[in-house]
Chain A
Amino acid sequence: MRPRFRFRASLIITATLLLIISLLSLSLKRSPILEKVEGMVVSLTAPGLHGLRYVGRSLSGVWEGYFYLVGVQKENAALRQRLQEYEQKELRYQEAQHTLARLESLLSLKKQVALPVTGARVIAYDPSLWSRCALLDQGEDHGVKRGQPVLSAGGIVGRILEVYPHYSKVMLIVDRNSGADAMVQRTRVRGILQGKGANRCSLGYVPKSADVKAGDLVLASGLGGVFPKGQVFGKISGANKKTPGVFQEIEVTPVVDLSALEEVVVVKVVNLAATP
């Protein structure tokens, strides 16, 4: 039994390794079959997340609007009834005000960008720390295409990496595979903005002689045709010139809180360089 078991275990390990290596190499070659599998899994599981998020929001609305006021209800039933109504109205009013403020800022962004855009909601985040992405509730059916830039009221969020029929995946600017041409607003010094994971980016290939200091805004240069020129990536949080080599080490913190995204806009132009 023992040699047979060993043979079986070796066979399973070899087959598993072959499977993983084949999948990884197919994935690196952007195999359409794997993309279809990915799309199918997302299409099957994302509606559940979408629904649960909606239920969660509704339940929290009920919690805040009703159960929180149980103590007041005991004091005076009639007064509590009125108070509850006013509280609910107030909550709805505040929520509406917040939504209005967010939508107004998105609208002004839309005017500012002067390109065709569509609004989208973030419904899920990346399950691991090994990459940084988010899932949007707009997909191929809504005209979203791979490569389109995604913005929020504060600045640039990322770009569309995968598109499924009803959903799309956006690679955030802090993802380690994200790279874009950028410039420092004050001095117009250019560099390449690269994601560093977590919630940070770095501005690479900036010579030590360049005038760069903490607090400077980093904008999209428009070169490369991915992100609209002038949109904000982030703020320089540190510049270190005491490094080996000819370039300085610049750390950039995104202006957008990429961990708390709700509504974003997708610019429906894939190659901005080709846009008049």
Chain B
Amino acid sequence: MTVPVILFSLVGLGLFYFQNLLLFPQVRLRLVGLFLFYVGLRPSFSLAFSLAVVLGILQDSFATTPFGLHLGAALLLVGMARFCRRRLLLQKIGPLIIASLAALTLQEMGVMLILMLLGLRPLALSDLASLRSLEILATAALAPLMATLVIGLENFLSRHGWHTSRSMPQE
């Protein structure tokens, strides 16, 4: 399990670098979040959990929000992915996009709730709501690319003898 965690973490770090170098601070697509969601949909829970911890801590370290906020948001995404995996039949790309859209929206709302509970002033819902919605929509539209990336990584690992899950075969 160590090699898959390291490889997936490096890809997550790559996405983080890509966003920081090319998109931030003007555009904030949730590429890392989407990546986590798709890893969460795959059979291995331990891989998704470990990846959420690594990427959550990475994002927390670069932000001024209380440490643990991004970690919680990342684990929330994995939780939602596991729920979708068990309850919904996510085989086609349409339902996948809708599921990731719902997960990213719920994550955003969850974070706002945590910030409010912590007594930190969250942005008003009206504030930038359209921009945020657009960003979430654009992120969800990248679902096919992200699904291909995650499956490609799994195939790469299995070709070299490493499996992300021992209990279940590749989907």
Contact = CB atoms under 8 A, between A and B. Distances in A.
B17 interface: yes
B121 interface: yes
A96 interface: no
A20 interface: yes
A63 B32 CA distance: 29
A53 interface: yes
Nearest to B117: A24
The SS class assigned to the B binding surface is: helix
Nearest to B28: A129
Interface in B26-80: 26, 28, 32, 49, 57-72, 75, 79
Contacts of A56: 21
Interface residues of A, number: 44
Given A28-B118, A37-B57, A127 B20 contact: yes
Given A37-B57, A48-B13, A48-B17, A126 B25 contact: yes
B123 interface: yes
Contacts of A175: 64
A178 to B, nearest CB: 9
A177 B128 contact: no
Interface residues of B, number: 41
Contact of B68 (A24, A177, A258): A24
B97 interface: no
Interface string A101-134: 0000000000000000000000011111111110
B111 interface: yes
Contacts of A12: 49
Contacts of B68: 20, 23-24, 26-27
Contacts of B162: none
Nearest to B20: A124
Q: Looking at B26, B32, B64, B66, which has the most chain A CB atoms within 10 Å of its CB?
A: B64
B165 interface: no
Contacts of A78: none
Given A52-B21, A126-B24, 12 more contacts: A34-B67, A127-B32, A128-B28, A128-B63, A128-B70, A130-B111, A130-B115, A131-B64, A132-B64, A176-B120, A177-B64, A197-B128
**7 closest A-B pairs by CB:** A23-B68, A27-B67, A41-B61, A27-B66, A131-B64, A125-B24, A20-B72
8 contacts: A23-B72, A24-B69, A26-B68, A28-B118, A37-B61, A48-B17, A127-B62, A129-B28
Interface of B: 13, 16-17, 19-21, 24-26, 28, 32, 49, 57-72, 75, 79, 111, 114-115, 118, 120-123, 127-128, 132
